[in-house]
């Protein structure tokens, strides 16, 4: 996948050009687009004598309404009698409360009283950040249907006090169904957090489930996973009347770049009331507009990361100088263009890879490279190990486990390894095949049918070899075949999970026992976890989207496509097992580490060397360096990579807790082994 110049805040980094990221590019899970900030703004007006009864007729008629029409998942309704939704917001100074009235036209109303899973019935989620700290305060996500309610992932984000301490006590609500309309009426008592001169973070999501169709989700503002990302909410301003508001208009000036691209949002902060701040959306022409209470304001753009994939470099945008202005009630204020400054990433690549002659000076170069990349791309934490002459010659951890708790990454802190798991499982499958426990060329359905695929006859051609070489005919995830097994490359985690179930069936063992017996115990591999356990919980780090930590996830069942958690020094032992050709016969290693499926270079790449997939591992042949093999991983908020230079007996292993981690290790092959290939623009 490729794209042109793009705000990194808007998308995961799936289009970096070097082969070292090949596996990262194609193993990314389906994620909602990331956004620097929501940019949505609504106004709450005074209300009184509102009864929370699911009837909005007692709401004032002067409240503005806001459409809920951003489709995050699923298709837009093809007729006006479905999925037409809006909301209005009010407040009561006397009660120190926020009121929310939501109405949706929905032609089919689905309930599932006995099953609370969110996508099986109609439900709404109110995302609220009443503290609205400019440094981030966490999102309380109230999930509500007629039969179930909960605060989403509350226990998984203990670093946010307002989320950890949230309850339903201050919340009153009523759901009413009238004809083809559903009303959700809310009252939230804010207590001491209620202040007229404070803005509030808010968004709203409607999950609509119709019989025979997948659930769709509509939100007020763009950006998914709002429960974990305070910077994906919109802003609420509490105002006495709309007539008292001022209108400000302006634009962004990017004279230094010939790009048709602008930052998605700018920040407005009240000078007199700093708790009243908001993000203002910038359109595709660089224009912005907002209605705000009268007063003095400061307009700015905090540093924001931008990348140019075609030229393979990054930039950071920020306002050259904050702009201050006075907004007057009932007037339109035209602002001067806000000038944007640029800061470019510095090129630190040497002419020759520094791992060939590695001493204290080269260690310092590695540290500087890692630390500068972390700072430039806002990568919170890193675990790194380097192998030379078959031995670990350098290991270090950098940065933070969690940007809110500020706890540093420790030597044994573990990261999600994502799809790197596939190469570890593939090693074990090759061991089993070598002993004829499994025949890689026998159709998998003969071992264990896959019920969800039974209607697709072609699946019966699928073998273990097809899965390991990504020729299974399955998509990355899902059970709708994308081709006949053996015909074309198609990266598939689903195939690996099917192969896992086959291994469990034919061995009669849980896959964790198989992994322990075949790999972990024979070679003393430690600090590698595939499912929840106390040691993992004590050592795990948080993933991040940008600077925002995501929920802690502990898999109850091991996934051989994605669930391993480990760290660089521990995982280096597995790289050494491969490098030393341990545990498998030479012929098996030859099969595992040769290209079975060729994979083309990305359109932006100038590389011409051969690259592709072995038996569960990626292989490339860069000019002058022989065979190089490894695997990348991308679970979204964790990205990682390892490669082994077979002839040179060198390897690098790097794990990050960031959706931007790929930008850290895209140049590691050049820094460490291959040397600089092409110049980058200097700062």
DSSP output for 426-477: HHHHHHHHHTTSS-TTSBHHHHS--GGGTT-GGGGG-BHHHHHTT-SS--SS
Alpha-carbon gap, residue 224 to 229, rounded angstroms: 9
According to the model, what pLDDT value does residue 37 have? 61
Beta-strand runs (E) in 134-170: 140-144, 149-151
The mean predicted confidence, pLDDT, of the chain is 90
- Provide CB contacts within 8 A for 420, sequence distance 6+: 564, 571, 631, 632, 633, 640, 641, 642
Give residue 2's pLDDT band: very low, low, confident or very high (50, 70, 90). Answer: very low
Give residue 213's pLDDT band: very low, low, confident or very high (50, 70, 90). Answer: confident
Q: How many percent of the chain have pLDDT more than 90? A: 77
According to the model, what pLDDT value does residue 11 have? 25
Tokens 């679970």 found at: 635
According to the model, what pLDDT value does residue 605 have? 73
pLDDT higher than threshold 60 for residue 211:
yes
According to the model, what pLDDT value does residue 312 have? 53
- Provide CB contacts within 8 A for 155, sequence distance 6+: none
* Region for 650 from its dihedrals, namely left if φ exceeds 0, alpha if ψ lies in -120 to 50, beta otherwise: beta
Beta-strand runs (E) in 294-422: 295-300, 304-308, 313-319, 323-327, 332-334, 338-344, 381-388, 391-399, 415-416
pLDDT higher than threshold 50 for residue 109:
yes
pLDDT higher than threshold 50 for residue 19:
no
HSE of 80, CA atoms in CB hemisphere, 13 A: 0
- Higher-confidence residue of 253 and 312: namely 253
The mean per-residue pLDDT over the stretch 47-60 comes to: 96
Give residue 34's pLDDT band: very low, low, confident or very high (50, 70, 90). Answer: very low
pLDDT higher than threshold 80 for residue 256:
no
- Higher-confidence residue of 79 and 231: namely 231
According to the model, what pLDDT value does residue 202 have? 97
Tokens 């019966």 found at: 460
The mean per-residue pLDDT over the stretch 399-426 comes to: 97
| Per-residue model confidence as pLDDT tens digits over 572-590 | 999 999 999 999 999 999 9
What is the DSSP-derived secondary structure letter of residue 594?
S
Alpha-carbon gap, residue 641 to 54, rounded angstroms: 52
Give residue 402's pLDDT band: very low, low, confident or very high (50, 70, 90). Answer: very high
| Per-residue model confidence as pLDDT tens digits over 658-677 | 999 999 998 999 999 999 87
According to the model, what pLDDT value does residue 662 have? 92
According to the model, what pLDDT value does residue 25 have? 39
pLDDT higher than threshold 60 for residue 532:
yes
- The answer to whether the beta carbons of residues 621 and 602 sit under 8 Å apart is no
- Higher-confidence residue of 255 and 615: namely 615
What spatial distance separates the first Cα and last Cα of the chain, rounded to whole Å?
28
* Region for 285 from its dihedrals, namely left if φ exceeds 0, alpha if ψ lies in -120 to 50, beta otherwise: alpha
Nearest partner of 201 among 132, 248, 134, judged by Cα: 132
* Domains in the chain, CATH or no CATH each: 6-31+347-674 (3.40.710.10), 41-238 (2.60.40.1190), 245-344 (2.60.40.1120)
Least confident of 20-29, 351-360, 429-438, 516-525: 20-29
According to the model, what pLDDT value does residue 308 have? 59
According to the model, what pLDDT value does residue 249 have? 96
Give residue 354's pLDDT band: very low, low, confident or very high (50, 70, 90). Answer: very high
Tokens 């291959």 found at: 674
Handedness of CA 454, 455, 459, 461 (dihedral sign): positive
Give residue 20's pLDDT band: very low, low, confident or very high (50, 70, 90). Answer: very low
The mean per-residue pLDDT over the stretch 474-490 comes to: 95
Alpha-carbon gap, residue 478 to 262, rounded angstroms: 36
Q: How many percent of the chain have pLDDT more than 70? A: 91
């Amino acid at each position: 996948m490729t794209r042109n110049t793009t705000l990194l805040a808007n998308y995961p980094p799936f289009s970096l050009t070097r082969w070292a990221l090949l596996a990262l590019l194609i193993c990314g899970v389906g994620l909602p687009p990331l956004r620097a900030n929501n940019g949505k703004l609504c106004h709450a007006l005074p209300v009184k004598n509102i009864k929370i009864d699911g009837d909005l007729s007692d709401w004032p008629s002067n409240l503005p309404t806001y459409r809920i029409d951003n489709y995050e998942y699923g298709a837009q309704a093809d007729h006006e009698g479905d999925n037409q939704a809006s909301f209005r917001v009010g407040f009561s100074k006397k009660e120190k409360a926020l009121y929310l009235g939501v109405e949706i036209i929905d032609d089919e109303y689905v309930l599932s009283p006995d099953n609370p899973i969110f996508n099986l019935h109609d439900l709404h989620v109110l995302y609220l950040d009443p503290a609205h700290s400019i440094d981030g305060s966490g999102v309380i996500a109230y999930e509500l249907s007629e039969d179930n309610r909960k605060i989403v992932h509350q226990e998984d984000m203990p670093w946010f006090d307002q989320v950890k301490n949230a309850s339903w006590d201050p919340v009153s609500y009523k759901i009413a169904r009238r004809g083809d309309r559903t009303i959700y009426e809310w009252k939230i008592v804010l207590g001491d957090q209620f202040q007229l001169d404070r803005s509030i973070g808010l968004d709203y999501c409607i999950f609509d489930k119709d019989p025979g169709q997948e659930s769709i989700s509509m939100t007020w503002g763009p950006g998914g996973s709002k429960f974990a990302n305070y910077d994906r909410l919109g802003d609420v301003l509490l105002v006495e009347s709309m007539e008292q508001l001022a209108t400000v208009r302006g634009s962004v000036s990017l004279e230094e770049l010939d790009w048709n691209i602008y930052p998605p949002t700018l920040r407005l902060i009240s000078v007199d009331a700093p708790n009243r701040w908001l993000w203002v959306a910038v359109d595709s022409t660089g224009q912005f507009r907002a209605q705000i209470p009268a007063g003095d304001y400061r307009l700015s753009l905090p540093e924001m990361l931008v990348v140019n994939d075609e030229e393979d470099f990054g930039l950071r945008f920020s306002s050259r100088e904050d702009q201050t202005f006075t907004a007057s009630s009932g007037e339109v204020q035209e602002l001067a263009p806000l000038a944007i400054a640029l800061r470019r990433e510095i090129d630190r690549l040497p002419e020759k890879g520094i791992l060939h002659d590695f001493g204290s000076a080269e260690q310092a170069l590695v540290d500087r490279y890692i630390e500068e990349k972390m700072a430039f791309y806002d990568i919170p934490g890193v675990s790194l190990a380097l192998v030379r002459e078959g031995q670990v010659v350098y290991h270090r951890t950098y940065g933070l486990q969690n940007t809110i708790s500020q706890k540093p990454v420790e030597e044994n802190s573990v990261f999600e390894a994502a799809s790197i798991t596939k190469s570890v499982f593939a090693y074990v499958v090759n061991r089993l095949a070598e002993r004829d426990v499994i025949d890689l060329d026998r159709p998998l359905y003969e071992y264990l049918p896959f019920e969800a695929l039974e209607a697709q006859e072609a699946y019966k051609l699928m073998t273990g070899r097809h899965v390991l070489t990504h020729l299974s005919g399955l998509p990355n995830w899902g059970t709708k075949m994308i081709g006949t097994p053996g015909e074309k490359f198609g990266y598939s985690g689903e195939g690996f999970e099917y192969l896992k179930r086959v291994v469990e069936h034919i061995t009669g063992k849980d896959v964790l026992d198989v992994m322990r017996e075949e790999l972990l115990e024979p070679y003393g591999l430690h600090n590698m976890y595939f499912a929840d356990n106390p040691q993992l919980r004590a050592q795990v780090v948080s993933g991040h989207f940008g600077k925002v930590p995501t929920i802690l996830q502990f898999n109850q069942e091991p996934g051989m496509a994605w669930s391993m958690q480990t760290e660089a020094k521990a995982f280096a032992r597995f790289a050494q097992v491969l490098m030393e050709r341990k545990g498998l016969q030479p012929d098996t290693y030859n099969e595992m580490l040769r290209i079975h499926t060729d994979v083309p270079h990305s359109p932006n790449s100038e590389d011409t060397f051969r690259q592709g997939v072995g038996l569960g591992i990626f292989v490339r042949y860069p000019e002058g360096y022989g065979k190089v093999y490894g695997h990348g991983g991308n679970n979204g908020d964790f990205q990682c990579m390892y490669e082994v230079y077979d002839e040179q007996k060198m390897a690098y292993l790097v794990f990050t807790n960031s959706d931007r981690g790929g930008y850290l290790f895209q140049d590691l092959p050049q820094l460490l082994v291959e040397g600089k290939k092409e110049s980058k623009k200097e700062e």
